[in-house]
Structure 1
Amino acid sequence: MNKTVNINIGGLFFHIDEDAYQKLSRYFDAIKRSLSNSSGKDEIMKDIEMRVAELLTEKQKSDKHVINNKDVDEVIVVMGQPEDYRIDDDGTESKSEPFFAATGRKKLYRDKDRGLIGGVCTGLGHYFGVDAVWIKIIFLLLAFTSFGVIAYLILWIATPKAVTTSEKLEMTGEPVTISNIEKKVREEFESVSNKFKNANYDEMGNQVKNGAERVAGGLGDVIMKIFGAFAKVLGAIILVFSAMSLAGLFIGLFTFGTTSFIDAPWQRYVEAVNYTDIPLWAFGLLAFLAIGIPLFFFLLLGLKLLVSNMKSLGAAVKYSLLAIWIFAVGSLVVIGIKQSTESAFEGKVVTKETINIQPTDTLKIKFVSNDFFSKNVYEHEEFIFTQDSAKNEVIYSNQISFEIKSTDKTEPYLQIEKLADGKSFKEANERAEKIKYGFKIVGNQLLLDNYLLTEMASKFRDQRVELYLYLPKGTVFVADETVQHFDESDNDFFNLHHSSDEYIYKVDENKVKCLNCPADENEYNDVEGGVQTEEINIIDETDSTETVTVKINGKVVTETKSGKKDKKGKLTVGSDGVIIKTE
């Protein structure tokens, strides 16, 4: 069995038997002798060793594979014999090709020597067999998209640079043989030498300058064309948007402004919320000028982007439109301020009406509607325009609130507060005085209107009525189901149970209590979240013990009691959560 030797060829380690090692050493020595008079001998030998290392790597079937004579012979066949590739100084070969010529196979590398930036485009040109100029043009066009830049960077990072002579031969598809390696190295040396010998530095400077100018000019033309196309598209978008906006603005504001001249259904509602005395057509015109003039200039901008030789407006027209726009915007600001000040103050008119009922009577509270205006007591309108029975135009509204409070007086009374907004307290109070609201006391019934009326001249200024029913301690009352739609009482004092209108309430010292509400509806809350109890019967037998379980708010409470025979009782939980036994 032959001995094995570990050798380093081209930076790679190989296990090789002794006979194969001696043959490979003689092969390298023969190559060195054939290159003894060649310029760049060291560079050629380095490239040959790297190529041999690549071929030997392909022969390895595993990490423990040992290179033998057969592997070395196959490498020599591919690389050729040294005497077959001797190149004289005049550049002629002694023999044209080895008997077994290796065919070239292209590999993708970056050609840094001929590339401008990273050599990606030039390397792709070698690989696909096309002029690198076309590849550069494609990447230049794609550079205006994120894809082009990302693709170039990925290729730059992933593609290795052709550094050695073997890699440069593989990049162009030439066979990596001794003759080609030597020829390539000699050509590079001669090229560099000739450049230094024949260099005309002034001419080179001019060529570089002219080339840079051509590249910059061509790049500038491409960029200008791309930006020109983008400007055309942008101009078309701006033109369409501006034209449609102007048309819509004109139609909308024209329709809005002409309500002053025609009897439109919505005219009264628009005028009702117009707190100023400015006609609607004037407001519409100012709004059209304030919004339309900027849209008009956008329209001109779109036309200029589409039509390059379009004439511009004169300075007089521009400054005139600017002055009109400033006037319109300023007027709208003034109108807005005036509109807000028209409702800056709140007026209030208060009246009190005593409710004459016996202390032992149960007061019944109910809201009623007027069949002339609405047959549904639950209907709620913020404000509408209608006519009363005398054919007078009025504003109808259901802005009514109701609240129950306690009083130290001996008799209950109803406090009616009429409220409205205005630009001053005086005007607001005058508008509040014109609110019409009615109620009736029929026996022990308090019948409250569910609406208010005011005249058209008052316009809509958030007119509303707030009702406060003051009840002395001990007063018993019943709230009709209609009350819940208007009730805004403090829940800590009076919590109206919505589950029934037959519950009886009594005014206590600090709160109103429900006298006949179910056990699962305490006086604070009649919905989920309050104290919930389960009532059960307890049967106590003589000398016996009973365990009672009660659920309170989802928690189980267990009580064990002893008692006498035939004694029955009930276990309940009070409002404070205390378990109470009743006989």
Structure 2
Amino acid sequence: MNKTININLANVFFHIDEDAFIKLDRYLKTIESYLAKEESKDEILQDIEARIAELFTESMIHEKQVITLSQVNDMIAIMGEPEAYKIDDGDDSTSSSSKFKSSRKLYRDIENNYIGGVSAGLHHYLGLNLLVIRLIWIISALFSFGATVAIYVILWAVTPAARTTAQKLDMQGEPVNLTNIERKVKESYSKFADKVGDIDYDKYEQQTRSGITKFFDGLGEVLKALGVFISKFLGIILLIISGVVLVGSMIFLFSFGTISIFELGDFNNMDMFSLGIPYWIQVVLFFLVGAIPFFYLLILSLKLLFSNLKSIGRISHITLIGIWILCIIVITTLSVKKQLELSYDAEVIEVKSLALTSEDTLRIKMDTNLMYSDDLRQSKLQKIVKDGSNTSRLYSSNVYVNFRTSDDEELKVRVTKKSYGSSESIARERASLVDYDFELDNSNLKLDNYFLTMPEFMKQNVKVEVTVYIPEDQIIYLDKNLMDFSRVRNFRSSDYNTYLGYDQNTWKPLDSIIKTDSLTTQN
């Protein structure tokens, strides 16, 4: 049974067995003896202890684990033996460190920052030119409509700042050992000494220990505790939000993705699926664009709740951010392409005169083809159907009907076919391929409530407008199913399913015209 000892390394408490403590204590005292003549001895020792505490924390499975002799030996293997780093101003401190290059860790470089130090940190992490990284942030922010700003803010919040010497060495990809810690602290200490010059440190220390300083120290502890509480509370809120969104995104991916891959449903009439590529690919693109930012938000919430949470790694960061930017570019490109395809419109007009005797009552109605649909209502919904020759056609009931009086004795029907395209000629060609029909059968004018065109014109906003020009001396009877297709209300709802005649520049029910004529004759 070994005796355990409680120690404090860089304000972190550890339980360590006696043998491990003896070796660790001897190790630190040896280092301290080598640094006895160094002005920056205290700063170097603090950073060394902070690095040792970090290595011990990483090697622990749980908080109450006892540090053993093997863990101390592993730490010394990483940090290096004190005898190998005996301070000698004539030695080249970089010679030993050049033998080993550790992997870089992502930190914010707050010593070379403009805003939060994210770009400077990525400069060390990726090895790219700092100016190039900042230009990428600016350009992508413009083309992503501000979405990149959200990514920057998330990285700012998630990525820790390189404050200690060990963190700065990790950020620059240098091994965190005694030599490099000593060299880094000396550099910082030298810069600081150049700035402050000759200062009476004893007098300064006495002043900082005055009553008001102690008061602010206490206030700082209170604010620090309050900050920890707020960060934990915020972490819980962000965890709930990001978790719900990610779960919803996964449901969206597997439900819509499965339906589209196995063609279990039709997304033709959904505006969100209009990029002109297979629907399952669009589902994946939308999922990645929405899920990746909330994945980083989830990481942020976990870091707020668990301060010792490890990073997902540089390769994972690069991969996720690269995929997100690529998806944004693809969606933006396809959306612009889709808009360009609808930038021009064109019309193809057909006018046909129909023979009709004035003694006949003209009956007008909308007619449907039961092979395609039994619904007589006007709609912008589209679907793919098979015609009589088993050819795929695009079916749409996006038809409008208007009524005008004819300037002669002929009944005329004007059919306007309208379509869109990336040029006027393409739009006109698409409009010319629209098939719309009507017929006059024994004074019954039957107007199709639908049109057919090519299946590839889905999402091209093709439509048909029918204008019927009626002679003024003609008696008409309008079926009530015309009401749903009339864009311009030429008639009141009471005029449908009623015999109408033209009198005093308007169409009126025949009984009101007869009464008016009778009263005029009597007078």
- Shorter chain as denominator, the TM-score bin is 0.5 to 0.7
User: Is contact 2:495-2:509 (8 Å) kept?
Assistant: no
> What is the identity, as a one-letter code, of the residue corresponding to 1:253?
L
Aligned match of 1:415: 414
Cα separation, partners in 2 of 1:462 and 1:507, compared to 1, 3 Å: farther
Give the whole-Å Cα distance in 1 for the aligned partners of 2:315 and 2:376.
Answer: 64
Aligned match of 2:443: 444
Aligned match of 2:487: 488
Aligned match of 2:364: 365
Using the TM superposition, name which of 214-223 and 298-307 deviates more.
214-223
Using the TM superposition, name which of 228-237 and 254-263 deviates more.
254-263
Aligned match of 1:464: 463
TM-score, with normalisation over the residues of structure 2? 0.53
Cα separation, partners in 2 of 1:215 and 1:518, compared to 1, 3 Å: farther
Give the whole-Å Cα distance in 2 for the aligned partners of 1:329 and 1:208.
Answer: 54
Cα separation, partners in 2 of 1:339 and 1:274, compared to 1, 3 Å: farther
Q: Deviations over 1:525-558 (max 9, x none)?
A: xxxxxxxxxxxxxxxxxxxxxxxxxxxxxxxxxx
Cα separation, partners in 2 of 1:217 and 1:275, compared to 1, 3 Å: closer
Cα offset for 1:285?
3.2
Give the whole-Å Cα distance in 2 for the aligned partners of 1:416 and 1:302.
Answer: 61
* SS in structure 2 at match of 1:498: helix
Q: For 1:220-299, what aligned pairs fall within 5 Å after superposition? A: 220-259=220-259, 261-266=261-266, 269=269, 276-299=275-298
Give the whole-Å Cα distance in 2 for the aligned partners of 1:426 and 1:255.
Answer: 40
Cα offset for 1:467?
0.7
Aligned match of 1:29: none
Aligned match of 2:129: none
Aligned match of 1:219: 219
Q: Deviations over 1:86-125 (max 9, x none)?
A: xxxxxxxxxxxxxxxxxxxxxxxxxxxxxxxxxxxxxxxx
Cα separation, partners in 2 of 1:269 and 1:391, compared to 1, 3 Å: farther
Cα separation, partners in 2 of 1:453 and 1:487, compared to 1, 3 Å: same
User: Is contact 2:275-2:282 (8 Å) kept?
Assistant: no
* SS in structure 1 at match of 2:345: strand
Give the whole-Å Cα distance in 2 for the aligned partners of 1:282 and 1:403.
Answer: 42
Consecutive unaligned residues in structure 1, runs of 5 or more: 1-205, 523-569, 573-579
Using the TM superposition, name which of 226-235 and 308-317 deviates more.
308-317
Cα offset for 1:274?
5.3
Aligned match of 1:156: none
* SS in structure 1 at match of 2:494: coil
Give the whole-Å Cα distance in 2 for the aligned partners of 1:471 and 1:518.
Answer: 18
Percent identical among aligned pairs is 27
Using the TM superposition, name which of 351-360 and 457-466 deviates more.
457-466
Q: For 1:152-551, what aligned pairs fall within 5 Å after superposition? A: 210-259=210-259, 261-266=261-266, 269=269, 276-314=275-313, 317-378=316-377, 380=379, 382-489=381-488, 494-498=490-494, 500-506=496-502, 510-517=505-512
Cα offset for 1:231?
0.9
Cα offset for 1:275?
5.2
Cα offset for 1:343?
2.2
User: Is contact 1:472-1:507 (8 Å) kept?
Assistant: no
Consecutive unaligned residues in structure 2, runs of 5 or more: 1-205
Question: Relative to total residues, which structure has the larger strand share, 1 or 2?
Answer: 1
User: Is contact 2:498-2:509 (8 Å) kept?
Assistant: no
User: Is contact 1:477-1:505 (8 Å) kept?
Assistant: yes
* SS in structure 2 at match of 1:403: strand
Cα separation, partners in 2 of 1:518 and 1:235, compared to 1, 3 Å: farther
Give the whole-Å Cα distance in 2 for the aligned partners of 1:335 and 1:500.
Answer: 46
> What is the identity, as a one-letter code, of the residue corresponding to 1:467?
V
* SS in structure 2 at match of 1:347: strand
> What is the identity, as a one-letter code, of the residue corresponding to 1:504?
L
Cα offset for 1:319?
4.5
Cα offset for 1:208?
11
> What is the identity, as a one-letter code, of the residue corresponding to 1:214?
K
Question: Relative to total residues, which structure has the larger helix share, 1 or 2?
Answer: 2
Cα separation, partners in 2 of 1:507 and 1:485, compared to 1, 3 Å: farther
Give the whole-Å Cα distance in 1 for the aligned partners of 2:477 and 2:255.
Answer: 53
Cα separation, partners in 2 of 1:487 and 1:241, compared to 1, 3 Å: closer
User: Is contact 1:412-1:469 (8 Å) kept?
Assistant: yes
Give the whole-Å Cα distance in 2 for the aligned partners of 1:226 and 1:275.
Answer: 49
Cα separation, partners in 2 of 1:276 and 1:219, compared to 1, 3 Å: closer
User: Is contact 2:378-2:485 (8 Å) kept?
Assistant: no
Q: Deviations over 1:488-539 (max 9, x none)?
A: 34x6xx434525522322276x54444424899x9xxxxxxxxxxxxxxxxx
Give the whole-Å Cα distance in 1 for the aligned partners of 2:232 and 2:485.
Answer: 62
User: Is contact 1:506-1:513 (8 Å) kept?
Assistant: yes
Give the whole-Å Cα distance in 2 for the aligned partners of 1:207 and 1:376.
Answer: 90
Say which structure, 1 or 2, has more relative contact order (CA 8 Å, 6+ apart).
Answer: 2
Cα separation, partners in 2 of 1:382 and 1:218, compared to 1, 3 Å: same
Give the whole-Å Cα distance in 1 for the aligned partners of 2:361 and 2:251.
Answer: 62
User: Is contact 1:408-1:472 (8 Å) kept?
Assistant: yes
Cα offset for 1:375?
3.8
> What is the identity, as a one-letter code, of the residue corresponding to 1:363?
L
User: Is contact 1:276-1:342 (8 Å) kept?
Assistant: no
Cα offset for 1:460?
3.6
> What is the identity, as a one-letter code, of the residue corresponding to 1:449?
D
> What is the identity, as a one-letter code, of the residue corresponding to 1:488?
R
User: Is contact 2:366-2:447 (8 Å) kept?
Assistant: yes
Give the whole-Å Cα distance in 2 for the aligned partners of 1:251 and 1:259.
Answer: 12
Cα separation, partners in 2 of 1:348 and 1:391, compared to 1, 3 Å: same
Give the whole-Å Cα distance in 2 for the aligned partners of 1:351 and 1:427.
Answer: 18
> What is the identity, as a one-letter code, of the residue corresponding to 1:444?
S
Cα separation, partners in 2 of 1:257 and 1:375, compared to 1, 3 Å: closer
Cα separation, partners in 2 of 1:512 and 1:428, compared to 1, 3 Å: same
User: Is contact 2:382-2:458 (8 Å) kept?
Assistant: no
RMSD: 3.5
* SS in structure 2 at match of 1:516: helix
Cα separation, partners in 2 of 1:328 and 1:375, compared to 1, 3 Å: closer
Cα offset for 1:441?
0.8
Larger Rg: 1
Q: Deviations over 1:423-445 (max 9, x none)?
A: 33233233323322221111222
Cα offset for 1:414?
0.6
Q: Deviations over 1:458-498 (max 9, x none)?
A: 32422222111123443332222222222234x6xx43452
